[in-house]
Chain A
Amino acid sequence: MAIRRRDFLKSTAAVATSLSLPRLARGADTASIYDIERFGNARILHTTDTHAQLNPVYFREPSVNIGIGEMAGRPPHLVGHAFLDRFGIRPDSADAYAFTCVEFEKSAGRFGKLGGFAHLKTLIDRLRNDVGAKHAMLLDGGDLWQGTGLANSMQGRDMVEVANLLGIEAMTGHWEFTYGEEVLRENLGHFRGEFLAQNVFLTEEAAFNDAPAFDKTTGRVFKPSVIKELGGHRVAIIGQAFPYVPIAHPKRFTPNWTFGIREEELQKHVDALRGNDKVDAVILLSHNGMDVDLKLASRVTGIDVILGGHTHDAVPQPIAVKNAGGTTLVTNAGSNGKFLAVLDLALDKGKVGDIRYHLLPVYSELLKPDPAMAELIGKLRAPVVTDWSEKIATPDRLLYRRDNFAGPVDDLICTALRTELNAEIALSPGFRWGVTALPGQPLTMEDVLAGTAITYPETYVQEMTGAEIKDVLEDVCDNLFNADPYYQQGGDMVRAGGLSYTCSPTNAIGRRISELKLDNGKSISASRRYKVAGWASVNGQQGAPVWDVVAKYLRSGRMLPERLGTGVTLNGVDGNPGIAG
């Protein structure tokens, strides 16, 4: 432990200096990476997209995260060494391990797991106490209630208890909505913080039928914002839920609610907070995704900082975006509990004088778990821990998920679907959550659930023509690579098993996907019908939950085939720093 601690300190000290924009933090000489120099009069702590990972995890950051058009080569579309160079992080450092995929396997053994709510609690309490409770607040950007078998079986209720103990004062949501309107409201009844969403409205039908809403006049279902006094100043926090809930997920979960980016309503609300409520700072707690936030920051005026999530981008520095009213800073704080963002503000009358921002990796080996949180986690996990801790396989390679087009976790899911459901082709959603498993270490049911636990896990087998398959690929691909971020939903490309293709991300929709071939090398014919297996359909399906299909496959003693089934050839993006060299 002593040696490892030295490893951490040696490698992080170098990073801290270079993590700063001219106006941002310089913490080079701190004895510990968690000793943050006091700055300003208000501190906002931000977690996002923890995906209910109660215990520390391994999570490999992407090696493919391509940006197209204006986003090419700009954060968050930098990976590997391009990322390290941009942010001045040393390749063999702990931060290189936390923020990138560089030497992941090797560093995992050296620096251990990240995150965990008991460790987060220790760090949060410490950073809160450093400035005093009256100067600090804790926000969560959503995707807090989903991502584990436990959260799924408890419909997010476990995470409400954890959030209360952690002291989350306001949150917004995305996967939270997939438990349905009723469960969401019930959970919020137990939540001690505020659930904020300026961009969720009643549908016209629901308003006509007098469905419950926070504000019947505007039709807003939830409170749009909260004003908190911090260090003698008034800070407004506006919530921005994931704008495409009824599109990305089955509409049946939120039949009465309509979403969207709602730029105009947001601008009006910001203006009212500034004009009527005379707040000193406006923060947007956003689940838009980073590309959408960067565009929004260029168009909506009066927001000081957008604390972002959804796209799981761990970006060490805020990106400054100019707009007609001044400058807005945009952040994104990673996923799975790996990071805690610390935003220190020097507040003045009606304005933010200056800020410091730190995105701190939560190195579980450097933090003592908080006993009360550890106890709560133990209590919550007790009913399921035995059932789900049985070893069902030992991976022969690193199992990770996050890349634009493919990852071994999804190769495994696709292979299991094709094998168990006897299909030529498998399609699996490009989720960005789910943990990384190291080779040679036991894989449990809990691990399988951590990559699959959703409220619509049913598998299906259906016949699709070659043309229909291409249309699906084109459609999802446009969600990633549309030149206009407002047309992107976030997430990665749908994973294809038994199928290879060429993708030209810079082309327009309909012209990105070509040369579709089956595993046996035969070209996909537009008119022929193929047997396709999948899961997580937005239409109702009846098949067994995907985790049972994957577990059955693994229990039979098989892992991945020698050659991975997914072959995507990229075209027209040579030299893009969103692809690790």
Chain B
Amino acid sequence: MTTTTGPHPTRRLILQGAVSVALIGLGNLPFAPALAAANDKYPDEAFKLKNEAEAIKALYGKTPEPSDKIKLDAPEIAENGAVVPVSVTTTLDKVTSISFFVAENPNALAASYRFPDGAIPAVANRLKMAKTSSVTAIVEADGKLYSATKDVKVTVGGCGG
């Protein structure tokens, strides 16, 4: 029996994963590219595009197919459009990337995360939404692209009951 002094191997993998995942989605912050995994360039062009389909194409170079293996959690009606909590988990294998798109925002791509081998494919973040829109999560797994979509209403408020 061998003994190890370092962290449990699985745990170390997760931690490594977490470091390189860190928020490409912070947008135009100048240091963001440095945080991306070594082999990935900051997807400057994709973040600038207005149209969702074009942004997906620019980021991944292919089109996604809907998958029920992605769980996209978002409110039906946002309590505050400036900070809409949206999270994704998936049972897909070999996930390398998860991205969020808000179709009606001025720029559709809201955040993109990369996952090194062994990282648990789960992301929770808050999205700023200009108005009522579909929110789409794209998961890249084993070289293929999958999507899940949910409508989130950003309303002017007011009530009747």
Contact A489 B151 (CB under 8 A): no
Contact A260 B75 (CB under 8 A): yes
Which residues does chain A contribute within 8 Å of B80, judged by CB atoms? 246, 251
Contact A174 B75 (CB under 8 A): no
Contact B159 A509 (CB under 8 A): no
Task: Pick from A242, A261, A479, A490 the residue with the most CB of B within 10 Å.
Answer: A479
Q: Is A3 an interface residue (CB 8 A)?
A: no
Interface size in chain A (residues, C-beta < 8 A): 42
Give residues of chain B (36-88) contacting chain A, Cβ–Cβ below 8 Å: 75-80
From A258, A482, A487, A491, contact of B160 by CB (8 A): A491
Contact B157 A487 (CB under 8 A): no
Q: A251-B79, A258-B79, A487-B77 are in contact. Are A312 and B161 (CB under 8 A)?
A: yes
Which residues does chain A contribute within 8 Å of B156, judged by CB atoms? 471-472, 475-476, 538
Contact B158 A538 (CB under 8 A): yes
From A312, A429, A475, A482, contact of B159 by CB (8 A): A429
Contact A509 B158 (CB under 8 A): no
Q: A472-B156, A475-B155, A479-B155 are in contact. Are A490 and B79 (CB under 8 A)?
A: no
Chain B: minimal CB distance from A569 (Å): 21
Chain B: minimal CB distance from A450 (Å): 16
Bound Cα distance from A489 to B161, whole angstroms: 8
Q: A491-B161, A536-B158 are in contact. Are A246 and B79 (CB under 8 A)?
A: yes
Q: Is B94 an interface residue (CB 8 A)?
A: no
Bound Cα distance from A486 to B75, whole angstroms: 10
Q: A247-B79, A251-B80, A259-B79 are in contact. Are A489 and B160 (CB under 8 A)?
A: yes
Give residues of chain B (129-161) contacting chain A, Cβ–Cβ below 8 Å: 132, 151, 153, 155-161
Which residues does chain B contribute within 8 Å of A538, judged by CB atoms? 156-158
From B75, B155, B161, contact of A289 by CB (8 A): B161
Which residues does chain A contribute within 8 Å of B132, judged by CB atoms? 509
Chain A: minimal CB distance from B152 (Å): 9
Q: Name A residues whose Cβ lies closer than 8 Å to a Cβ of B.
A: 49, 143, 174, 242, 244, 246-249, 251, 258-261, 289, 310-312, 429-433, 471-472, 475-476, 478-479, 482, 484, 486-487, 489-492, 494, 509, 536-538
The 9 closest A-B CB pairs, nearest first, are A491-B160, A248-B159, A538-B157, A430-B160, A490-B161, A486-B76, A246-B79, A310-B161, A492-B160
- Apart from A246-B79, A479-B160, A491-B161, list 9 A-B contacts with CB within 8 A: A248-B160, A248-B161, A249-B159, A430-B160, A431-B160, A482-B153, A486-B76, A489-B155, A490-B160
